Amino acid sequence: MKWLFKDQLQKIRQNKLNFISLSLLVLVIAMTFTAVKSSIRRLDANVDDYLEVQQLEDFYFSMGALDVNVLPGSATLELCDQLDIYNDCLYDISFVDDPVHVNHLNTIINDAINDNPLLYESIVDSYADEFASEYNLTIEKSFVVDIIEGEYNYKFVSVTEDINVPYIVSGRIPEDHNEIAIFPEFAELNDLSIGDEYIIDGKAFTIVGTFYKPEFLFPIFSLTTVTYEPEYQTLVLGTKETIRDLNEYIFNKYLVIGDLDQILPDYGYSSIQSNDYSMLGKGMQMIYFLMPADINFRIIALQTEITNANAFINAFLPVFTTLIVLLLLLFMKKYIDQNKADIKTLHAIGYSDKELSLALLTQPFFIGLFGMIGYLIGLLVSNQFFDLYSARYLYPKAGFQFDIDLFVIAGILPLLAIILMNYLFIRVSLRDKLHVFKAPWIRLHKFVTTKTLLFTASLIFIVSVLIGFGLNGNSMFNSFIDYTKKGNHYAEMISLQNMTNTDHFDTYETYTKSPAKIIQVNSRTLKTVQSTIVYGISPTTTLKRLINDEISSNQLVNEGVVISDFLHTSLGLDIGDTITYTIGEVEVEETVVGVSNELLENNFYTSQTKLNSYFSLDDTYYNGLYTTDYNYDSPRVLSRIDYNNSLEEFSAILNVSSLIINYLVVLSVILSIFIFSLVMINYFTSHRLDIAILRSIGYSNNELHIKYLVPLFILLVLFYIISIPITDWMINYLLTMLMDSIGFKLIVEITVVNIIVGFTILCMLFGIFIMYINKYYNSLHISSILKHSTK
Q: What is the pLDDT of residues 401-445, one digit of tens each?
A: 888 888 888 888 888 888 888 788 777 777 655 444 444 443 444
- Assess if residue 264 is contained within a domain: no
Report yes or no: 516 and 533 within 8 Å, Cβ to Cβ: yes
Domain that holds residue 224: 139-257
Strand runs (DSSP E) across 76-178, as ranges?
138-149, 152-158, 167-171
What is the reported pLDDT for 434?
46
Is 230 in the same domain as 311? no
Strand runs (DSSP E) across 239-338, as ranges?
251-257, 287-292
Is 318 in the same domain as 421? yes
Is 183 in the same domain as 249? yes
What is the reported pLDDT for 737?
63
Q: Is the pLDDT of residue 52 over 80?
A: yes
Is 393 in the same domain as 352? yes
Distance CA 43, CA 307 (A): 12
Is 247 in the same domain as 322? no
Distance CA 41, CA 141 (A): 34
Q: State the CB neighbour count (10 A cutoff) for residue 34.
A: 28
- Assess if residue 292 is contained within a domain: no
Residues 6+ apart with CB under 8 A from 357: 423, 426, 427, 430
What is the reported pLDDT for 686?
67
What is the reported pLDDT for 338?
66
Q: Is 44 helix (H, G, I), strand (E, B) or coil?
A: helix
**Which of these three, 137, 154, 169, is where a domain ends?**
137
- Assess if residue 247 is contained within a domain: yes
Question: How much is the average pLDDT of 36-56?
Answer: 90
Distance CA 640, CA 642 (A): 7
Q: State the CB neighbour count (10 A cutoff) for residue 245.
A: 13
Q: Is the pLDDT of residue 730 over 90?
A: no
**What is the rounded radius of gyration, in angstroms, for the C-alpha atoms of the chain?**
34
pLDDT band at residue 560 using 50, 70 and 90 as cut-offs: very high
Distance CA 588, CA 581 (A): 5
Task: Indicate the length of the chain as a whole number.
Answer: 791
Phi/psi of residue 191, each to 5°? 55, 45
Global pTM reads: 0.64
What is the reported pLDDT for 453?
65
What is the reported pLDDT for 441?
41
Q: Is the pLDDT of residue 258 over 70?
A: yes
Which of these, 569, 739, 582, lies nearest to 267 by C-alpha position? 582
What is the reported pLDDT for 189?
94
Is 73 in the same domain as 43? no
Is 507 in the same domain as 623? yes
pLDDT band at residue 789 using 50, 70 and 90 as cut-offs: very low
- Assess if residue 211 is contained within a domain: yes
422, β-bridge pairs:
none
Distance CA 38, CA 651 (A): 23
pLDDT band at residue 22 using 50, 70 and 90 as cut-offs: confident
16-25, 214-223, 354-363, 437-446, range with the lowest pLDDT: 437-446
- Assess if residue 563 is contained within a domain: yes
Side-chain-side CA neighbours of 642 within 13 Å: the count stands at: 15
The amino acid present at 583, given as its one-letter code, is I
How far CA 464 is from CA of 111, 254, 684, 722, in Å, comes to: 64, 55, 20, 9
Is 669 in the same domain as 630? no
Question: How much is the average pLDDT of 360-371?
Answer: 84
Is 194 in the same domain as 314? no
**Which of these three, 85, 120, 137, is where a domain ends?**
137
pLDDT band at residue 477 using 50, 70 and 90 as cut-offs: low
**Which of these three, 118, 137, 156, is where a domain ends?**
137
Higher pLDDT, 367 or 460: 367
Distance CA 226, CA 215 (A): 15
pLDDT band at residue 289 using 50, 70 and 90 as cut-offs: confident
Q: Is 46 helix (H, G, I), strand (E, B) or coil?
A: coil
How far CA 757 is from CA of 161, 325, 761, 771, in Å, comes to: 59, 28, 6, 21
The alpha carbon torsion through 639, 643, 648, 653 (nearest 10 deg) reads 40
The region, left, alpha or beta by phi > 0 then psi within -120 to 50, assigned to residue 350 is left
pLDDT band at residue 648 using 50, 70 and 90 as cut-offs: low
The alpha carbon torsion through 319, 324, 328, 331 (nearest 10 deg) reads 100
Is 500 in the same domain as 637? yes
Distance CA 370, CA 422 (A): 16
Q: What does DSSP assign to residue 280?
A: G
Is 184 in the same domain as 229? yes
- Assess if residue 117 is contained within a domain: yes
Task: Report how many domains make up the chain.
Answer: 5
Q: Is the pLDDT of residue 178 over 90?
A: yes
β-strand 578-583 against 586-595: which pairing, if any? antiparallel
The amino acid present at 167, given as its one-letter code, is Y
211, β-bridge pairs:
168
pLDDT band at residue 791 using 50, 70 and 90 as cut-offs: very low
Report yes or no: 474 and 658 within 8 Å, Cβ to Cβ: no
Burial 410-439 (b: 16+ CB within 10 A, else e): bbbbbbebbbebbbebbeebbeeeeeeeee
Q: What does DSSP assign to residue 436?
A: P
Helix (H) or strand (E) segment spanning residue 124: helix 117-135
What is the reported pLDDT for 271?
37
- Assess if residue 525 is contained within a domain: yes
